[in-house]
Amino acid sequence: MAQTWKRSIWNISNIKPFSNIKIIKWLYISAPQKIIDLVSDFEENKHEYKNPEIFDEENTKVKFLNPFFEELGWNIRNEGLSAKFREVVFEDTIKMGNKTKAPDSHSD
């Protein structure tokens, strides 16, 4: 069941170009409990999750992105789909010297 989640946005009333704009004090959104839990977990531990020495891209995908999209109804694992009808296509890797990298990675 979806729950309401209250989140402060920002105050821009003291910025001159925006001084005449009505401020949105709170944003109320309805979200599945799983998504609220993911956001809460990130907020509580963001010092770790934002540290690339502790938490890398793959861990971010597994911990947050896959569960988020699964909760929205995406078939992340492509269960029951032929290769032609996959909803998610996993990234290939390439070998550069003695390192394996994603095609969009920057070379060192």
pLDDT tens, the chain, 108 aa long: 455 555 544 444 555 555 555 555 555 567 888 988 998 899 999 999 999 899 998 899 999 999 999 999 988 888 898 888 887 777 766 677 777 766 665 555
Cα–Cα distance, 78 to 89 (Å, whole number): 9
Q: Specify the pLDDT at position 84.
A: 85
Q: Specify the pLDDT at position 67.
A: 95
Kindly state whether residue 23 falls inside one of the protein's structural domains: yes
Kindly state whether residue 104 falls inside one of the protein's structural domains: no
Q: How much is the pTM?
A: 0.58
Q: Which residue's entry shows tokens 């531990």?
A: 45
Kindly state whether residue 56 falls inside one of the protein's structural domains: yes
Strand (E) positions, 1-108? 2-8, 26-32, 94-96, 99-101
Kindly state whether residue 99 falls inside one of the protein's structural domains: no
Range of 60's domain? 2-88
- Overall number of domains in the chain: 1
Tokens representing 60 are: 């971010």
Contact 2, 31 (CB under 8 A): yes
Kindly state whether residue 27 falls inside one of the protein's structural domains: yes
